[in-house]
Amino acid sequence: MGHNSAEADPPVAFPPKEARGRKTAVTDDRLRLLIERVERLEEEKKGIADDIRDVYAELKAVGYDAKIARQMVRLRKMDPDARREQEMLVDTYKAALGLG
């Protein structure tokens, strides 16, 4: 059944520790390993975010505008057609507001 159906699956109940069998112990080990993996990835993500922050600080230190550099990174990620469409809309709005 889908997530919007009227009947929901009953919640999963874990047996008490003394009633757990081998299968549950293996499942517990897998859960622990997956959680530890997420924790390691989160730590790596934090390290990468720190590195990116350092690069933007370096950009600023040598005279570039970090805010504009962030916009350039965002624009370079975009599909060229989507970027052109966005630029057209910005130009249209600027003209409508007399900024153009």
In a domain, 43, yes or no: yes
Q: Please write the tens of the pLDDT for every residue from 79-90.
A: 999 999 999 999
**Whole-model pTM?**
0.62
Containing structural domain, residue 49: 18-96
Number of domains into which the chain is organized: 1
In a domain, 73, yes or no: yes
Phi-psi region at 15: left, alpha or beta (left = phi > 0; alpha = psi -120 to 50): beta
In a domain, 55, yes or no: yes
In a domain, 9, yes or no: no
In a domain, 68, yes or no: yes
pLDDT at 26: 76
Q: Please write the tens of the pLDDT for every residue from 29-66.
A: 999 999 999 999 999 999 999 999 999 999 999 999 99
HSE of 14 in the Cβ direction (CA atoms, 13 Å)? 9
In a domain, 3, yes or no: no
In a domain, 6, yes or no: no
